[in-house]
Structure 1
Amino acid sequence: MRVSVPKEPTGRLSDAWRYCVGTGRFELALRRDYQDSLATVQREIGFRHIRGHGLLSDGVGIYRPYEHRGARRVHHSFTYVDQVVDAYLDLGIKPFLELGFMPAELASGDQTVFWWNGNVTPPRSWPEWADLVRATISHLVDRYGLAEVRGWPIEVWNEPNLKEFWAGADQEAYHRLYELTAHTVKEVDAELQVGGPALAPSAGDWLLRFADFVAARDVPVDFVSQHAYTSGSAQHVPFGTHQRLAPSSRLLEQFAGPGRKLRGTALAGLPVHITEFNSSYRPDNPIHDTALNAAYLAPVLAAGGDLVDSFSYWTFSDVFEEVGVPTALLHGGFGLLAHRQVKKPTYHLYAFMARMGDLLLTRGLDHLVTRDATGRVTVLAWAPVDISGRDASPTGHTVRLSIPLDAPQRTAFALRSSVSEEAGNAWAAWSAMGRPRSPDQRQLDLLRELAEPVRRHQALPIAGGRVDLDLTLDRHEVTLVEITAVADETPPWWDEDRLLGTGREER
């Protein structure tokens, strides 16, 4: 059946998908591969904020206690902070600050998380924690200006409802941390945005108890944050993990959760930021590298902005070391980009979204249609994903649209860009190469070339102010079609037959 796309926009397409993107720990931004990758992402996608762990951890070196003349003192150093934030701003992206983890010498215990040992215990000195927060935020305001930093959301900790990220998943201790931190931020400036609690999925009543606590204590909260993943229990193999996935619609259900739970509470109506989301929560799950991941997430990007103020893909790059240094170029990392700027199919899903118009014409289970101010129509279409088995997803899925194109011309130019199991798929090419762990320069160049979408074009007749578009999609294909009316400037003497000198001579 052919879908008739409305002529008039039904609204504006939300760009909540572009508000923020995730990153590996803070100091990784000092690396060349990281900055080259972020430059690529910003050039072709253009995220507005970036969020990651470890701003206050030892690797960034802010908290520096010392003794002088018999007295213990604390020096706050921002050498690395300045370099990272300067690099971000130069690339057109602003921080979404996450305050964590605990400096080792300020920590009350020795429990850590990740290969790089982020300490997840409360401070042994609450006043020194407040001083650390105050000094950090004040420095950023002094260096970058109050008007600038007021636009940077400030999130308190990460997933405190998990014992791996907050000792004992102690909610009372987290409430104390949040209260002190939020008041300290507001002491710097009342209009700075502070929020949390950055909960992992399946948080139970944590969010409601948090809402009750901040309301009873009159603690400032400017936004609510939570995370969303759809993977189940892990099956571990050496240097990798495999997991079953729930349908991607579960991500949208998780996005809607905070707003639904907070109805009738003091936090109802606050902005909701999903500060991490992906299919799998593991940084070594090969699903992230596949075309399946792109097709699986396409309906989430198309509809997620109706439910939340932002949803942040975790992460933009495989420069990421939570479970250790990666053992191969493609290793199941979270990134839209593998190391060395090799693009994954999900990267192209985002790049396609970045090329769409902002006027929403229609949206369906397998397509999204927009128009921009110039009249250019863009169609994003995706093949349905069946997660019951590796080969279960269909091939040959069709999308048929009748698209309005209000133009006096008789012909439209359609440019189609596609990624699938066979096209624009670095994972498939790398697998066919024998999965080289450290590709040489020739292999890297080839992988980058084969990771680009397949592009084709066609002329479409305009009849009655409409064009008919028929798309047959390969398995796990995501495709973008850009349609513009043709202003034909072909000279009247042009004759295709004369290319080889066989046409009739002009007289």
Structure 2
Amino acid sequence: MSRLPAAWRACVGTGRMELALRRDHQDSLALIQREIGFRHIRGHGLFSDGMGIHRPFTHLGEKHVRHSFTYLDQVVDAYLGMGVRPFLELGFMPDGLASGDQTVFWWKGNITPPRSWSAWADLVRDTVTHLVDRYGLAEVRQWPIEVWNEPNLTQFWLDADADAYHRLYEITATTVKDVDPDLQVGGPAISPGSDKWLETFAEFVVARDVPIDFVSRHAYTSGPARHVPFGTHQTLGPASRLLEQFALPRHQLAGTPLAGLPVHITEFNSSYRPDNPVHDTAFHAAYLAPVVAAGGDHADSFAYWTFSDMFEEEGIPVALFHGGFGLLTHRQIKKPTFHLYAFMARMADEILSRGPDHLTTTDTTGRVTVLAWAPVDHEDLRNSPSSHALRLSVPMTGSSAFLMRSSVDEQYGNAWAAWREMGRPSSPLPRQLDALREAAEPVRSHRGLPIVDGHVTLDLTLSRHEVTLLEITPVRDETPSWWDDGHLLGMPS
């Protein structure tokens, strides 16, 4: 048996970092950590003006810069208090240091290089030094530090200028290592579609002997956006394309000096749009199930983008369900994909078997867990099979076993479906929120099973877009010898 890789929970995405100052964000992250338990969290905007780190000022006619960490400390304290470490992304450019006024997103992250490379190095050095001083070197060494976000796209880095990014990376990585050589630094955090970027970046790093501890990229499967008011529709490729993208860095770097470096997929999802309703559906959970189950074979981490719908890149959402990236909506309504991750968190840690529709694991206590999912039609979800049958045989000792089954599908554990049936209220009333929270819970069932010749046979029928978790434990019967359930109503023997 082999161990189930923990790459699926190694990191999760969030919006820009300052959102962690808000109550709804902190309540949502606390729920995520209780039921799933991610190890790291990555977001944009560490150096954007909303975090208030880079503070230029004039005194007695001279210009100065103060680096202030008031908000950064509050954000990191909140993260660590909930058991999740930062995965730091260094960007975007503070307005007071930017060489231009080009921005991205509703909240205007500046995408231009610094007008002073030495001032950028000072900003990086002071920030990393402060974190080491406040949280300790042993702690910060566990925080990967990624240089920028998707510099291969003109939306995120001026003109997608590779040479300018290489300079940014070299100065940044060298500065981080000046603070401590054992801090982890990497990149280039590229988006899908410009795959030669990683090869060119690797050649630069090797030729210049630039520090690098990991490589990173992103993965999505959606096609061009077709916009409607406050929403987007897109085609999707098969989910297997995500696994192909996860595997690509190792393939590209094979035979180079960077072969063997950790690979972090610092964003992944189906659609790259934060207003695509597919994110809210049961289809989405079944679509991503084989990716979450097998992604650790191809990457050291793959971060679901994002844990919460508190996310404002396209503006403030206009409805509770709006196609946001999150595992949770605002007000902590669980989506079906939340349960995919919560089911994974309850899996045992040794792999027994894997197939195109299931993952089976066990542990030293003899407990067996099965994650199973229905196949989907990624071109038209209406054509996904209405049912899917599979038979499994799992090893178990004793004479009988107890089965607990938890499921989400088009009807159960599907708050989006309930919200549609409510008439899609944009701002649900408190009683409607309560109803949605109840509708979001998986359906549970249980039964006893015989153990025959050291095995339990499972005949499963999954409904359309169902994801189900089976937890099977051997029974140690402690029923007293005198007990008879037939006497519950006092009938004589």
- What band does the TM-score fall into relative to the shorter chain? over 0.9
Unaligned 5+ segments in structure 2 are none
Shift of 1:501: 3.0
Matches within 5 A, 1:150-299: 150-299=141-290
C-alpha separation in 2, matches of 1:399 and 1:342: 31
Query: Shift of residue 349 of structure 1?
Result: 0.2
Distance in 2, matches of 1:308 and 1:102, equals: 29
Provide the residue aligned with 1:454 in structure 2.
Answer: 443
Give the C-alpha shift of residue 374 in structure 1.
1.5
Question: How far apart in 1 are the matches of 2:255 and 2:59?
Answer: 53
Q: Give the structure 2 partner of residue 89 of structure 1.
A: 80
Pick the aligned partner of 1:389 from 380, 383, 403: 380
Deviation at 1:266, TM superposition (A): 2.0
Q: Does 1:486 align with 2:471?
A: no
Give the alignment partner of residue 408 of structure 2, picking from 419, 425, 428.
Answer: 419
Secondary structure, counterpart of 1:476 in structure 2: coil
Cα deviation, residue 495, structure 1 = 2.3
How far apart are the structure 1 equivalents of 2:167 and 2:378? 42
Question: What is the CA distance between 1:387 and its match in structure 2?
Answer: 1.5
Q: Distance in 1 between matches of 2:238 and 2:156?
A: 27
Instruction: Name which of structure 1's ranges 24-33 and 495-504 shifts more when overlaid on structure 2.
Output: 495-504
Equivalent residue number for residue 333 of structure 1: 324
- Whether contact under 8 Å (1:381, 1:399) holds in the other structure is no
Distance (Å, rounded) in 1 between the aligned partners of 2:346 and 2:206:
42
| Amino acid across the alignment from 2:455 | R
CA contact (8 A) 1:245 1:387 kept: yes
Whether the aligned pair in 2 keeps the contact of 1:13 and 1:359 (CA below 8 Å) is yes
Say which of 341, 351, 354 aligns to 1:350.
Answer: 341
2:362 paired residue among 359, 363, 371:
371
Taking only aligned residues, the RMSD between alpha carbons, in angstroms, comes to 0.8
Q: Letter of the aligned partner of 2:480 in structure 1?
A: P
Report what 2:301 is aligned to.
310
In the TM superposition, residue 68 of structure 1 has moved relative to its aligned partner by: 1.3
Q: In structure 1, give the amino acid aligned to 2:21.
A: L
Task: Report matched runs for 1:129-168 at 5 Å.
Answer: 129-168=120-159
The AA in structure 1 aligned to 2:169 is Y
Equivalent of 1:113 in 86, 104, 114: 104
TM-score, scaled to structure 2: 0.99
Q: Shift of residue 462 of structure 1?
A: 0.6
**Aligned counterpart for 2:92 among listed residues 93, 101, 124:** 101
In structure 1, what residue type is equivalent to 2:434? D
- Residues 237 and 379 in structure 2, CA contact (< 8 A), matched pair in contact too: no
Report the AA paired with residue 268 of structure 1.
A
* Deviation at residue 268 of structure 1 after TM alignment: 1.1
- What SS does the aligned partner of 2:143 have? coil
CA-to-partner distance for each residue in 1:102-129, whole Å, 9 max, x for gaps? 0011100111000000000000111110
Structure 1 gaps, min length 5 = 1-8
What CA deviation, in whole Å up to 9, does each residue of 1:243-268 have, x standing for no partner? 00000000000001011011122211
- The aligned residue for residue 465 of structure 1 is 454
Structure 1 range deviating more: 137-146 or 256-265? 256-265
Contact 2:10 2:303 in 1 (8 A): yes
Please say if 1:495 is aligned against 2:484: yes
Contact 2:98 2:112 in 1 (8 A): yes
Q: How far off its partner does 1:350 sit?
A: 0.2
Q: SS state of the match for residue 391, structure 1?
A: helix
- 1:373 to partner: Cα distance: 2.2
Q: For each residue in 1:155-179, what CA deviation from the matched residue of structure 2 results, as whole angstroms up to 9, or x when unmatched?
A: 0000000000001000000001000
Q: Distance in 1 between matches of 2:193 and 2:374?
A: 29
Q: Aligned to 1:360, what secondary structure does the other structure show?
A: strand
Question: Structure 2: how far apart are the matches of 1:136 and 1:189?
Answer: 13
Q: Following TM superposition, by how much is the alpha carbon of 1:438 offset from its aligned partner in structure 2, in angstroms?
A: 0.5
Please give the alpha-carbon distance, in whole angstroms, between the structure 1 residues aligned to 2:364 and 2:131. Answer: 38
Q: 1:41 corresponds to which residue?
A: 32
Counterparts of 1:345 and 1:390 in 2: how far apart (Å)?
Answer: 15
Matched position secondary structure for 1:403: strand
Aligned partner of residue 232 in structure 1, secondary structure: coil
Q: Which amino acid aligns with 2:109?
A: G
Q: Say which SS state the counterpart of residue 468 (structure 1) adopts.
A: strand
Q: Distance in 1 between matches of 2:3 and 2:50?
A: 42
1:372-401 alpha-carbon deviations (Å, 9 max, x no partner):
221110000000011221310002201210
Correspondence list, 1:3-42, <5 A: 9=1, 11-42=2-33
- Could you list the per-position Cα deviations for residues 203-259 of structure 1 after superposition, in whole angstroms to 9, with x for gaps in the alignment? 131111101111111100100000000000001000000100000000000001011
Report the equivalent of 1:3.
none
Q: Give 3-state SS (helix, strand or coil) of 2:227's partner.
A: strand
The CA distance in 2 between the partners of 1:203 and 1:309, in whole Å, is 21
C-alpha displacement at 1:301, in angstroms?
A: 0.8
Q: Which amino acid aligns with 2:377?
A: D
Q: Which residue of 2 aligns with 1:428?
A: 417
Paired with 1:466 and 1:127, the residues of 2 have a C-alpha distance of 66
Measure, in 2, the Cα distance between the counterparts of 1:495 and 1:221. 68
- SS at 2:127's partner residue? helix
CA contact (8 A) 2:41 2:86 kept: yes
Structure 1 residue 440 and structure 2 residue 429: aligned? Answer: yes
Which whole-Å CA distance do the structure 1 matches of 2:26 and 2:325 have between them?
17
